[in-house]
Structure 1
C-alpha cells in the first residue's frame, strides 16, 4: 500500500522529535539536573523528601562537598552541605533553600506540574520552578563552576535544604536555627529565597512582615429575627468589622497614593465569618444567633508597634464592654533579642550589603530598591538571632508565579542565575574583614 508524502513527513518529524527528546533526557547539564530536581513531588500534604535529598547528595559528592543530614523531627530532614574555606576562624556563609512546595491542581496546568516540561520557547513548567528549587540547584551549579576554575573560598560556605517552609517552617528552619548544630556553623551572613522580577532589575528583600491570626468573638441575646435587640452578637460583631475595614482602608490608601509599598503597611484581611443557626436547608432566618465570630489575617512590617496594635484591638475592635473576646496567635517576632526591629541593613554600615551589591553589578545586573517581603520565609528565624539575611532569587524579566498555576522559569533566566551566584558566592566568601553581626 502506498504511503502519502504527508504521512512520511509526519513520520520523519516524529522520529526526529523522539531522538531529540531522548538526547535531551540523556544529557547531563545544569538544565537537565534542574528538571530532575523539579520532578520530585515535594508538595504538601505528603512531600517526598527522601528522593530529592538522595539526588542532592549525589550532586554534592560529584563536586566534592561534605554533607550532613539532621532530623529534628522524624521524617523531616535538614540537609547541610559544606565547602570548607581556607580561614576557619572567620564566620561562615549560609545559602538556604527549602525542599517542599505547595500543592498544584494538575488539571489547571498546561503541563503536568511535576513533569518539568521544557517547551520550545525555553519555559520549564513545574511546581517549585520559582519557589524555590531554582536556587537550590543554582547554588550547586555555581560552586561546580567555581571549583572547575580552581577558586578557593576564604570563608566556609554552607548550603542548607530545609523541609516544611511552605507550612510555616516550624519543624524545619525554626528548629534548625535554635539548635546547637546551627550555632556551631558560626554564621556571619545568610542568603535565602526572594522572588521574580517582571522588570530588568533584581529584587532583594531585607525584612518580612510578621503574621498575626486574630479571632474576634461576640455574644448577645438570642431571639426572634423580627425583634430589635441592643448589643446582639451580630450587631456587635458588625460594628467591629466596620471599624477594621476603615483601618484597612487607611493603610491601603497609603499604598494607592504611592506613599508606602504594600509590604510596608499593616494589612488586615478577613479570612472567615461564622454565625447563624444552621438548619437542614441552610440557616434559620427568623432567629438571631447568640454567638458570632470573625477571623483576620494580619501582617505587620518590622517597624510596626505591636503594643499599639494590641491596644487598638482590645479597646476598639473587640472591647469587652460590647460582650466581645478575642485571641491573637502571633506567628513570629517583630524584634530580636536586643529589642531591635528584625531587618537587615541595606546601607554602608553593613559591609555584607556592599559586597553583595558589588557582586551583582559585576555581572552587569542592577538591584531594585530593597523591599520588605509581603509574605514570610525561613529568613525570619535567622534574623531573629541577629544574623544579617538577604532574600534573593536571580530571576529578572519573569512573571511572578509563586503558588500560581503554570509556574515556570525560562531556561536562559535559570542559566544566567548560575553566573550571578558565581559572582555572589565568590565575593561573599572572599570577604576578609571581621564584621560584627548586624541587622
Structure 2
C-alpha cells in the first residue's frame, strides 16, 4: 500500500490516498497490486494482460515463454545501441504469497491491499518509461523479465529458465533483482544469499497402546531430533545477538515448521516426522553441515531417515570490489546520489540465487530506506515518496549499468 507521505494513517494497512491528482506511477503501481496473483492459484493471465499493455505503451517487444503449463515467463527488451555487448537484466516476479484473510476482513479498500508493495521491482517499468520519454538510449540491451512462481521456490520459474536456450540468447552480463527495505538512512544491497534447505526427518518406532511404557518409540526419537536442531538454533541466535558485525544473512536460521504423526490418542504411532526450514549462509561448509544432520539422526536412534524438499548447494556471490566494472558502476552511481550502501547476504531467497549459480553477477536492491521491513506481513506498506524516489534511483542505475564500457573481446555469440 502507498500511504500518505507521513506514513500509514490510523487506518493501518488498509489506509489509502485518493487517486485524484496522484502521480501516474503511483496509480499504475496500485493497479498492479490489485491483480490477484496470490498462491496457491495465482491469476497469471491477468498479469500477462497487464504486461502486454505496458509493453505496448513502452513500444517494447515482448517475448513469452511457457516453461510449464500456465507458467509463462515474459521478457520486454529495450535494445541498446550496441546489442553485441552483454545485456542488463532487470528481474521481477509476478506471484504473491498467500494472505491471511482474517487480517484484511474489515478492510474498506480491498482493492488496495498492500500485499507485494515492498516486493516492488516492477518499478523498473516506470524507470524505463521515464528514460524513454527523456530520449535516453542504452548502450547495452536491457531486458525486463517477469517470472512466475518465485514465491514457491522458483522451480517452475527461474530455476528452470536459466537452463533454457532462450536464457542463453539473452547474453546477460549483470542482473538486478529485488532486495529489502531498510529502516535506517542507509540502503541495503545484497551480493549473495543463504541456501534454503527444507528437510523432513522420519522417525520410526515401536507402536503400542497408549497405556504402556513402550520402548524405542517414534516420539522419543522425534524429541531427540527436535532438541538437536533447536539447540543449534539457539547457538546461532546467540552468535547473531553477540556480534555487532553479523547480520541475519551471516548465520544459519533453523525453524521447525511442521510435525506429523499419530492416528489416535491411545495409539502410540509407528512413525512421526518433523520438518525444518534452514537458511545457510555461503560461509558454511554445506557438506560438513549435512554430516552434522546425519550425526543428529544417528544419535536419536535406529532407522531414522531424512529427505529434502529443497536443497540448494550453490554458494556463488557477486563481487563488490571496486575493480569490478559492474559493481563500480552500481556503487559509483549510488554515491553520486549521496546514498550510503550497506552490503549484506540476503537472509531469505530470491531468483538471484539461480542467476548467480550459472555464473552471472546479480545484486538484490530495492531503494527503500527509512522503511520498516514488512515484506509478506499483513500490514505491508510502502511510503509514496520513497516509491517515487526509487524510480529516480533506478533511472540512474539503469543508464549507468547499460553504459559500462565493453570488456576485451566482448561479443554476443547469438547475433
TM-score (norm 2): 0.87
Q: Is contact 2:197-2:277 (8 Å) kept?
A: yes
Equivalent in the alignment of 2:336? 362
CA apart distance, 1:126: 2.2
What SS does the corresponding residue of 2:382 show, helix, strand or coil?
Answer: strand
Alignment RMSD, CA only?
2.4
Equivalent in the alignment of 2:251? 265
Deviates further, 405-414 or 54-63? 54-63
Distance 1:183 1:98 in 2: 19
After superposition, what is the alpha-carbon deviation per residue over 1:63-121, rounded to whole angstroms, capped at 9, x for unaligned?
222211111112221110111111122100000011111122344237467523xxxxx
Distance 1:231 1:70 in 2: 53
Higher Rg of the two aligned structures? 1
Distance 1:344 1:60 in 2: 30
What pairs up with 1:164-243 in 2 under 5 angstroms? 164-223=149-208, 225=210, 227-243=212-228
Mark the CA change 1:37 to 1:293 in structure 2 (over 3 Å): closer, same or farther.
closer
What pairs up with 1:7-406 in 2 under 5 angstroms? 23-24=20-21, 29-109=24-104, 111=107, 115-116=111-112, 125-131=113-119, 134-136=120-122, 138-223=123-208, 225=210, 227-258=212-243, 260-278=246-264, 283-284=265-266, 288-315=268-295, 317-319=296-298, 322-329=301-308, 331-335=310-314, 341-368=315-342, 370-406=343-379
Deviates further, 41-50 or 101-110? 101-110
CA apart distance, 1:47: 1.4
Mark the CA change 1:219 to 1:343 in structure 2 (over 3 Å): closer, same or farther.
same
Distance 2:206 2:98 in 1: 43
Mark the CA change 1:86 to 1:69 in structure 2 (over 3 Å): closer, same or farther.
same
Q: Is contact 1:198-1:398 (8 Å) kept?
A: yes
What SS does the corresponding residue of 2:341 show, helix, strand or coil?
Answer: coil
After superposition, what is the alpha-carbon deviation per residue over 1:381-422, rounded to whole angstroms, capped at 9, x for unaligned?
111101000001111111212111122212111110110001
Distance 1:240 1:139 in 2: 45
Distance 2:168 2:157 in 1: 15
Q: Is contact 1:113-1:127 (8 Å) kept?
A: no
In structure 2, the gaps of 5 or more residues are 1-16, 411-415
**Alignment coverage as a number of residue pairs:** 392
Mark the CA change 1:229 to 1:106 in structure 2 (over 3 Å): closer, same or farther.
closer
Distance 2:117 2:108 in 1: 13
TM-score (norm 1): 0.83
Mark the CA change 1:275 to 1:147 in structure 2 (over 3 Å): closer, same or farther.
closer
Q: Is contact 2:201-2:274 (8 Å) kept?
A: yes
Mark the CA change 1:330 to 1:388 in structure 2 (over 3 Å): closer, same or farther.
farther
Distance 2:396 2:283 in 1: 32
Mark the CA change 1:434 to 1:166 in structure 2 (over 3 Å): closer, same or farther.
same
